[in-house]
Chain A
Amino acid sequence: MSRLPVAKTYKLFIGGAFPRSESGRVYDVTTPAGEFIANASKASRKDARDAVVAARAAVAKWSGATAYNRGQVLYRIAEMLEGRTAQFSDEIQKSTGASAKDASTEVHAAIDLLVWYAGWTDKYAQVVGGANPVAGPFFNLSVPEPTGVVAVVGPQSGHNSLLGLVATVAPALVTGNTVVVIASEGSPCAAMSFAEVVATSDVPGGVVNILTGSPTEIAPWLASHQDINAIDLTGADTELALACERDAAETLKRVVRPGQFSATLGSVDRIGAFVETKTVWHTKSLS
């Protein structure tokens, strides 16, 4: 006798909790063939702003954690994802129509990318920072620091709904930024299941906030938000990216343009897109 399955309610992920959209709105998520999979929450401007508040509140703890600790937490995400490969593979197949092989390849790539970035947390500062040999009796050191809160328009193509999310979120996390990401609108299931992985991987609440819904609706609020330091427009179409980059200029946000980095591969420069270089001088003397 076949068992009636229990369907999952896909909600948002804000401040470590899973609220529904305050707007009460949902939208249909379907297979490429149009079959109903689930109702996803359609995040509103208010949800986006709540996510930014949560992300800002989490900056001190995450950026203040040791690089060793952040590396372990990112590695923990990879561990948790590994154990749920089958579930993610299944969700990816359903929502994107990928083959079983392609879906598991994608999950494995996401896991491996997390491991790669996990290893960067305690190496990045040494590679890009350093002592500056100034012409005078000074100790002079430059170090990278996280810029703060990073908004991400996650990749929106029908493929790589998990890998694209990981490839855009993980590099911002490496140095201690917190993130508000808009998941793939058409294939949000893997993203929201990834939220469950994040929630059980020792990631402090608010470090990763995941919204589902329309990037065209939500991204402009993030682009013009006064308390966001950088915006990654990887998943924005040309028109949306232009509007967001213009809005971002008002607060001089750091901007990653569509196509500037790969939507699926790791990149050291992408870590660098969300850091500030701080240079500290101190006098030296024997007196």
Chain B
Amino acid sequence: MSFLEYAPAPESTSILNLSPSYGLFINGEWVDGGDDSYTTISPATEKPIAEIAHASASDVDRAVSAARRAYDTVWSRMSGADRGKYLFRIARLIQERARELAVAETLDNGKPIRETRDVDVPLVAAWFFHYAGWADKLEWAGLGANPTSLGVAGQIIPWNFPLLMLAWKVAPALAAGNTVVLKPAETTPLTALLFAEICQQAGLPAGVVNIIPGRGSVAGARLVEHPDVNKIAFTGSTAVGRQIARTIAGTDKKLTLELGGKGANIVFDDAAVDEAVEGIVRGIFFNQGHVCCAGSRLLVQENVHDEIVEKLTRRLSTLRLGDPLDKNTDIGAINSKVQLDRITALVNTGESEGAERWTLDCPVPKAGFWFRPTVFTNVATSNTIAREEIFGPVLSVLTFRTADEAITKANNTPYGLSAGIWTQNASRMLRVADELRAGVIWANTFNHFDPTSPFGGYKESGYGREGGRHGLTAYLSNGDAR
């Protein structure tokens, strides 16, 4: 046994008490879906987890009218302090059921338990705690003395951080006094359905939160076009974001979009090399690279390129890919066959366009969807892998000579979600941060999130912010204040 070999340390799934099948959560009750049901599987084993109902368009209508009724009769009339108390309750219930939620998320999504346990679920609880405290302080949100809620919020979330994206959407919406209809992603409905149970345990009034798994093209589309929805919040692809913006044109609906990215992680020659290497790994291999704000383009100063790449590949060689429920696992499963095929196709394109490929030499489980961490060097800015979001554990390395060149290359994308800067020179860091056209900039760190910290994109990475006071205002109107 070499020092890199460990005995398996799998987290038990006995903590889970799942139903064999789940319906839709509408008006505080479980109801059957009008469309056919499907099986959600574990991407690490391809084994079934549970049968999930698909919401039909008329299910969406039912959910929206339940949300409207709850808004009109209960939630918009409740004091902010009481709304806050419900959110505090939910936060506590999430903490109490944290391990169970982490296991469920890992099972359904394929991401390592180390991440769901230490990142996703603690942040979910933190998000509810943060916004719980906002509920009775809306007059301090910066929208004048009498800010008002919007009404019914339709929320559509992706599969990469299923429960965390739910928290980012639901917590501020409820704190501001809105009711919600939330559609989780098709491949990852499980934790949203457990969250519905938590709403029941918290005694949340019926209809305040409605959870409707379904297809984007059916349930998602209906939610977006529904005339009685006042606000749409979407996290997902830029292509779907465009469609949504188009669909709601000419209406009064408010919209926030958190879309794709092609984040530049810029390493200057005076960076602390070991820390930078850790940050590069965190930037693109966290959550198998299924991260919209991933640092998927490494821009490294030419004179340290070889050193950084050598240290990076050496560090990557210590990563452990495999059973996501194993506490030692760094790289879990790719969330779906569809995503695996997309990553594979883009990587093949990268090779055929002339970039040099390095891939971690490690065993890959027989069943499930897996992609070994991959680094491309000798990448040109015009290469597909330097332009398109891969949404997988694939890093493209480009070089630069001057800070100006780094800035130009970093900004040379229609996206603008995130960027990283690695330098020990504080003046240069701040100046580069000023010049980068991206909504979140991590300097000498990467991929940190916090409920107090606004997150969102420039340009085609979307608009609106989630987190903190900014995220709250996305669910409020200012009445008549200037």
Contacts and interface: CB of A to CB of B under 8 A. Distances in A.
Tell which of A138, A255, A265, A278 has the most Cβ of chain B within 10 Å.
A278
Interface in B430-482: 433, 438-445, 448, 450, 452-456, 458-460, 462-463, 465, 468-470, 478, 481-482
Majority-rule SS of A interface residues: mixed
B241 interface: yes
A277 B242 contact: no
Contacts, number: 108
Contacts of A136: 448, 450
Contacts of A147: 458
A238 interface: yes
Nearest to A265: B482
B250 A238 contact: yes
A140 interface: yes
Interface string A252-287: 101101000000011111000000111111110000
Given A245-B250, A281-B453, A134 B460 contact: no
Nearest to B449: A134
Given A249-B246, A280-B441, A281-B445, A254 B463 contact: yes
A276 B458 contact: yes
Interface residues of B, number: 44
Nearest to B480: A262
Sorting the interface of chain A by its residue count into under 10, 10 to 19, 20 to 34 or 35 or more gives: 35 or more
B316 to A, nearest CB: 22
Contacts of B458: 147, 276, 278
Contacts of B246: 246, 249-250
Contacts of B142: 127-128
A116 B278 CA distance: 48
Tell which of A136, A269, A281 has the most Cβ of chain B within 10 Å.
A281
Interface in B407-424: 416
Interface in A218-246: 229, 238, 241-242, 245-246
Contact of A135 (B126, B243, B259, B441): B126
A249 B249 contact: yes
Given A229-B459, A245-B249, A277-B465, A282 B429 contact: yes
A277 B456 contact: yes
B104 to A, nearest CB: 24
Given A136-B448, A251-B460, A269-B478, A281 B441 contact: yes
Contacts of A278: 433, 438-441, 458
B448 A266 contact: no
B462 A252 contact: yes
B452 A279 contact: no
A132 interface: yes
Interface in B230-246: 238, 241-243, 245-246
A85 interface: no
Contacts of B439: 276-279
B212 interface: no
Interface string A110-148: 000000000000000001101011111010101000010
Contact of A134 (B433, B452, B462): B452
A279 B459 contact: no
B459 A252 contact: yes
A250 B242 contact: yes
B238 A281 contact: no
B257 interface: yes
B122 to A, nearest CB: 9
A134 B130 CA distance: 11
Contacts of A248: 245, 249
B244 to A, nearest CB: 8
Contact of B453 (A238, A255, A279): A279
B443 A280 contact: yes
B442 A142 contact: no
Contacts of A249: 242-243, 245-246, 249
Interface of A: 127-128, 130, 132-136, 138, 140, 142, 147, 229, 238, 241-242, 245-246, 248-252, 254-255, 257, 265-269, 276-283
17 contacts: A132-B453, A135-B126, A136-B448, A136-B450, A140-B450, A142-B468, A147-B458, A250-B242, A266-B482, A267-B482, A276-B416, A278-B433, A279-B453, A279-B455, A281-B443, A281-B448, A282-B445
